[in-house]
Structure 1
Amino acid sequence: MSTVHVLAIITTKLGQREAVLEKFNANVPAVLAEDGCIAYEATIDADGAGPIQTPAGVDTFVVVEKWASLEALAAHGASAHMKAYAESTKDMVADRVIHVLSPS
């Protein structure tokens, strides 16, 4: 299986984005150390992008990920540090949409 890309669109409850991002960023080193993790980064709306941008919004961030395989991605989701992160942020997150994409 080839690499997979993930776009995880996380919408927090009103005013909770910075608190969730703090927990997210604390977890990044553990994720980057996982077997098969190629890239893992939280992103927010770029200032000044103008009319080409469809804003995600002030309570939303998008996680841009790249994994060596679907198996590596599955192991990531089952990891203890991801379960702990999910538990610690569950009351701050309003919605989560995950897009798993293959290179064309």
Structure 2
Amino acid sequence: MIHVLAFITAHPGKRTQLLELFQAVVPTVREEHGCIEYGVVVDVPGADPAFGPDTYVVVEKWENLEALKAHSVAPHMKSFGAAAGALIAKRAVHVLQPA
């Protein structure tokens, strides 16, 4: 199983708009072959440490690396990238496996 944690930081004040685009593609991604889990999390208000108001984390699980690679080039992900690109200030994607 492959785990992915993607830390996405929007330009200031753009997280809500970016999350709307993201949420629109989630149902399609969950139907992809090999997708086990795909969702988004944000800070719990008042919790410490906090990522901040412009960041969210995508939590993914895939059956294998091939499924993840297919996901990254899927037409709906390319469309999402084109629509979301200008809203993203930075991103860090970590592809992991169980120890």
Post-superposition offset of 1:54: 1.9
2:41 alignment counterpart: 43
Scaled by the length of structure 2, the TM-score of the pair is 0.97
Which runs of 5 or more structure 1 residues have no equivalent in the other structure? none
Distance 1:29 1:43 in 2: 16
**Secondary structure at 1:94 match in 2:** strand
Match of 2:24, as an amino acid? A
Alignment root-mean-square deviation, CA: 0.7
Deviation of the 1:47 alpha carbon:
2.0
**2:57 aligned residue:** 62
**Partner letter of residue 23 of structure 1?**
L
**Aligned twin of 2:31:** 33
Unaligned runs of 5+ in 2: none
Give 1:48 shift: 3.6
Aligned to 1:99: 94
Q: Write out the 4+ residue segments of structure 1 that deviate beyond 3 Å after TM superposition.
A: none
